[in-house]
Amino acid sequence: MFKTIKNDLPASVVVFFVALPLCLGIALASGAPLFSGLIAGIIGGIVVGAISGSKIGVSGPAAGLAAIVLTAIGTLGGFENFLVAVVIGGVIQLFLGFAKAGVIAYFFPSSVIKGMLTGIGVIIIMKQIPFFFGYDKSEGSFSMDSISIGSTIVAILSLAILILWQQVLSKKGKIFQLVQGPLVAVVVGIIFYVVTQGNEQLAIGVKQLVSVPVPESMESFLGQFTFPNFSAISDKQVWITGFTIAVVASLETLLCVEATDKIDPDKNVTPTNRELLAQGTGNIISGLIGGLPVTQVIVRSSANIQSGGKSKMSAIIHGFLLLISIVVIPNLLNKIPLSVLASVLLIVGYKLANPQVFIKMFKLGWKQFLPFIVTIVGIVSIDLLWGIALGLAVGIFVILQKNYQNSHFLHKEGEDVKDGKLKITLAEEVTFFNKGAILKELDNIPKDSNLEIDLMNTRYLDNDIIEILEDFAFKAKERNINIKLISERGIIENPKSIVEFFELNPKPKSSLS
């Protein structure tokens, strides 16, 4: 892990500045103490980050649970009773991990996962635009009249710094790679706030700044921690809430794992069962000391990837940065304009909802585009879980309409032969339901093997399977596995890109779809 510290340290700083306002905002939206969001962020970084098998995933409080938390706190009679449900949810997640329930992640099609990423990106952009212009929630709904000149100027300046750093300066030398654009933008924002305090037109109001609790002493700092009221453990509603948290948090985590693995340039594969164990441990500890429920979160994870994070050290360091900052420099943090952080999140949102993604999914055909667009619309218009559920329902409908039902989709020959020659024959119809089994077979291919993948009889090959083969071809080089791909489109050995092979070679009629 320490070998990649030059990548992980600057990435952790970016994730810290992304996580800080999210921790506070999610706590506010959940009707919980602001400090509970920071606790969850710290636990998600340090504890979950250390236990998790994910190299690039980052955990913390999730916006998708805000509505559940808000309702539960009122229903259960207080935050202390709710914390008992968080602990119970964590224990249930441990059982799910030991029961190897992480396999559920493989049953979501990539079109839905990509739709989830894009939908979250759209929501980030929509929600951050008002803050970019200095929106003050106390003034009611956002309008052109509520624009703050000072906040807007520093936001535009920050956005220019971020783009310049990313497109030009990051390629100019190691110093620009170590010191990331978001850190520079935040420093510029603090300087702008301090310098313009005496100017009526440019001054940034207190409500347009980060708001971190400032303890006056160690006693007041420790007084911010809340502990669960275990006398409420006999309440049936507490157990129902705990079960709900476990199911929703586990589902969000597994979907995030699937999504982050897809956008990871190093093609790491996260052990999903271990991730459930890590999340369960994190939720138990978070609940015991007054924190919100935690999940792996796509916004922080994608920011980590985009900033060059290579190992779990970036997630762990970001957790320590949160801890150190609220203890040592809370007053300095409270001088950061929200519009600066909005600029950072706008860049993250744009990368998730890049217009090129829409074009690519459209070109893949309606079977990929329809679940993709339905997922986005559902997430934006309703919420995350509804969007995923609608996208998955459409994806299943598309599969059922094609009537693809073949349990013998995978056939393997020569497993025990001494010369190391193996052959995998895919069935006539292979869909995203088959991802788990195919991944397992490919992971079990021994090093220094000669593998033949026969697609001659395959009439339909889902885009998800093509992506799995693409990732396997990438890793096969490191394991010294020679690949020979046979299909009606042609024969190719050790392909550089299986995706390009299918795109560049026209398919015969009644062949691969």
Highest averaged pLDDT of the listed ranges 125-129, 238-242, 395-399: 238-242
Rounded CA-CA distance 444/316 in Å is 31
130 domain residue, yes or no: yes
Closest CA to 54 of 275, 259, 263: 275
Rounded CA-CA distance 19/12 in Å is 10
188 with 98, same domain: the answer is: yes
134 with 206, same domain: the answer is: yes
Q: Choose the final residue of a domain: 343, 365, 391.
A: 343
Please report the pLDDT score of residue 405 as a whole number. Answer: 45
Query: DSSP labels for 323-341?
Result: HHHHHH-HHHHTTSBHHHH
Tens digit of pLDDT for each residue in 173-226? 666 666 667 778 888 999 999 999 888 888 888 888 887 778 877 787 888 888
Closest CA to 208 of 123, 335, 325, 322: 335
Closest CA to 292 of 108, 91, 68: 68
510 domain residue, yes or no: no
Structure tokens at 459: 């009439």
142 with 290, same domain: the answer is: yes
Q: If pLDDT is split at 50, 70 and 90, which confidence band does 419 have? A: low
**β pairing state of 460-461 and 490-493:** unpaired
Rounded CA-CA distance 17/20 in Å is 5
Which residues are bridge partners to 124 per DSSP?
none
15 with 33, same domain: the answer is: yes
513 domain residue, yes or no: no
Closest CA to 205 of 268, 296, 135: 135
Tens digit of pLDDT for each residue in 471-513? 888 888 888 888 888 887 778 887 777 777 777 666 654 445 4
Q: If pLDDT is split at 50, 70 and 90, which confidence band does 451 have? A: confident
User: Hunting for tokens 């080089």 — which residue is that?
Assistant: 477
Which H or E run contains 396? helix 384-402
Q: Choose the final residue of a domain: 402, 437, 471.
A: 402
486 domain residue, yes or no: yes
| Three-state secondary structure of 129-190 | HHHHCCCCHHHCCCCHHHCCHHHHHHHHHHHHHHHHHHHCHHHCCHHHHHCCHHHHHHHHHH
Rounded CA-CA distance 97/279 in Å is 9
55 domain residue, yes or no: yes
41 with 178, same domain: the answer is: yes
209 domain residue, yes or no: yes
Which H or E run contains 61? strand 59-61
368 with 429, same domain: the answer is: no
Residue 416 has pLDDT above 60, yes or no: no
Residue 408 has pLDDT above 50, yes or no: no
Which H or E run contains 429? strand 429-430
Rounded CA-CA distance 63/22 in Å is 8
Residue 417 has pLDDT above 80, yes or no: no
251 with 271, same domain: the answer is: yes
283 with 375, same domain: the answer is: no
314 with 463, same domain: the answer is: no
Residue 366 has pLDDT above 60, yes or no: yes
248 with 371, same domain: the answer is: no
337 with 371, same domain: the answer is: no
Rounded CA-CA distance 434/458 in Å is 14
Please report the pLDDT score of residue 342 as a whole number. Answer: 84
Please report the pLDDT score of residue 453 as a whole number. Answer: 84
Per DSSP, 209 falls in state B
CA dihedral 460, 112, 496, 310 (to 10 degrees): -160
In Å, what is the CA distance from 389 to each residue of 67, 268, 395?
17, 26, 10
Please report the pLDDT score of residue 1 as a whole number. Answer: 57
Tens digit of pLDDT for each residue in 254-296? 888 888 888 888 888 889 899 999 999 999 999 999 999 999 9
Radius of gyration, alpha carbons of the chain: 24
Closest CA to 263 of 346, 354, 178, 341: 354
Under 8 Å between Cβ of 9 and 263? no
Percent of the chain with pLDDT over 90: 25
Q: How far apart are the first and last CA of the chain?
A: 42
Number of domains in the chain: 3
511 domain residue, yes or no: no
348 domain residue, yes or no: no
Rounded CA-CA distance 424/444 in Å is 12
Rounded CA-CA distance 60/68 in Å is 16
Total Cβ atoms within 10 A of residue 425: 18
Rounded CA-CA distance 104/368 in Å is 20
User: Hunting for tokens 């006693």 — which residue is that?
Assistant: 219
Rounded CA-CA distance 393/297 in Å is 23
Structural domain span for residue 451: 410-504
Tens digit of pLDDT for each residue in 47-82? 999 999 899 999 999 876 777 788 889 889 899 999
Phi, psi at 492, each rounded to 5°: -140, 140
Tens digit of pLDDT for each residue in 6-52? 888 888 988 888 888 788 878 877 778 888 989 999 999 999 999 99
35 with 117, same domain: the answer is: yes
Tens digit of pLDDT for each residue in 81-100? 999 999 999 999 999 999 98
